[in-house]
Amino acid sequence: MAILLAGTGLQALVSSPASAQVSGSTSVGTPAGTAAGTPIINTAGLRYDLGDATRSTTSNTVTIVVAERLDVALTGDIGGAIVVTTAPTVVPLTLTNLDNGNESFVLAVTLVAGTNSPGTIVVRTLVIDADGDGLYDATRDPALVDGKTPSLSPGQSIKLLAIVAAAPGTGAPAAAPATATLTVTARSTTGSGSAGTGYDGLGDGGGAAVVGPTGASASVSIPLTTATAAGASLFKSQSVRAADGSQNAVRDSVITYTLEARFTDAVAGARIADPIPAGTVFVPGSLMLDGVPLSDAADGDAGRFDATGAQAGAQTGGPQAPGIAVALGQVAAASVHTVQFKAKIQ
């Protein structure tokens, strides 16, 4: 008796309902992979000879629904610090659905004022840039409903505008410039958390939803200032990357700190120092100036890791603690220098 086993697989050509085109959005292409909610259907066949007769039968059919992978990206569209005036000032952003399904995202905005700057810079609203021109028009650019974006299809991006303003009188020649850090965070409405976290039955097509490498959450921090007069300003931002690829601040996650020094006039003797935060340790070999690696030792280049903390304490006015120190020296007018280093959470 001869037996032939044959498997026949069928990927059902059923797609999730397409999301409506969102104003201010573009498509960057569907992320690689099968669309969420797609049923994968498979039936096997059995054919055999019994005596002089050839017979056949089929197996039962099994079906699995492709899970929805929850992922998102959020970026600022302007590099460096943004100068804020008393008129509405635009902070342009781009949010991209890296999901393989249709998903909406909840946005949260926080503003942390710099030293002696409470209340001098405020957030007015967060809106969709309807025509993607980077300009705010209150009659055309709608605010997010309950802080949530419309549903975005896989690979779709949407332009957003955070509107900020300075209090009247802020940044006048006699006043010290105000500074602040604007942080915008986007999270999947279905759920977020550590990569691999599952939400049964909440994906497209009734399948599962699974948190992807981004943790279904993304944040961007943008420095703000009212400084327009001569001098220099220093802005600090941070990003987090865990071992699983998410942005969760857990043990062994690595924080990348970026310090941007902006100079209006030519200055001499410029230097930057930053203590390593408590609860973290410096990542050796991570110090960089304007994209060029610096050694950790006190040698011929501009930077070093100061294990004694003498420089960091002296320049920040705080207690001595180990930190990084970078000597910029003579700096030209209208220049920008960027220092980066990494610290690991203990």
Return the pLDDT at 104: 96
Q: What is the mean pLDDT of each run of 10 residues along the chain (346 residues)?
A: 42 36 57 77 91 91 87 87 86 94 95 78 93 87 93 94 82 63 95 92 91 92 76 80 83 90 84 92 94 91 85 56 90 87 94
pTM of this prediction? Answer: 0.64
Is there a contact between 338 and 260 (Cβ–Cβ < 8 Å)? yes
The whole-angstrom separation of Cα 22 and Cα 11 is: 29
pLDDT tens track for 293-327:
999 998 889 999 988 776 655 555 556 778 999 99
Return the pLDDT at 6: 46
Return the pLDDT at 260: 84
Return the pLDDT at 103: 96
Return the pLDDT at 21: 53
- Name which of 133, 135, 121, 111 is nearest 83 in CA terms: 121
Beta strands 105-113 and 179-188 are antiparallel
Task: Considering the chain, tell me which residue range(s) the CATH 2.60.40.740 domain(s) occupy.
Answer: 231-346
Q: Which CATH architecture has domain 231-346?
A: Sandwich (2.60)
* Phi and psi based region of residue 206 (left: phi greater than 0; alpha: psi -120 to 50; beta: remaining): left
The residue written with tokens 């905005």 in the block is 109
Is there a contact between 271 and 325 (Cβ–Cβ < 8 Å)? yes
**How is 123-183 classified by DSSP, letter by letter?**
EEEEEE-TTSSS---TTTSPBPBTTBPPPB-TTEEEEEEEEEEEPTTTT-TTSPPPEEEEE
Return the pLDDT at 114: 80
The whole-angstrom separation of Cα 188 and Cα 148 is: 10
Domain at 1-229, CATH from 2.60.40.10, 3.50.50.60, 3.30.2130.10, 3.40.50.300: 2.60.40.10
Residue 149 φ then ψ, to 5° = -80, 160
Is there a contact between 315 and 273 (Cβ–Cβ < 8 Å)? yes
Return the pLDDT at 300: 86
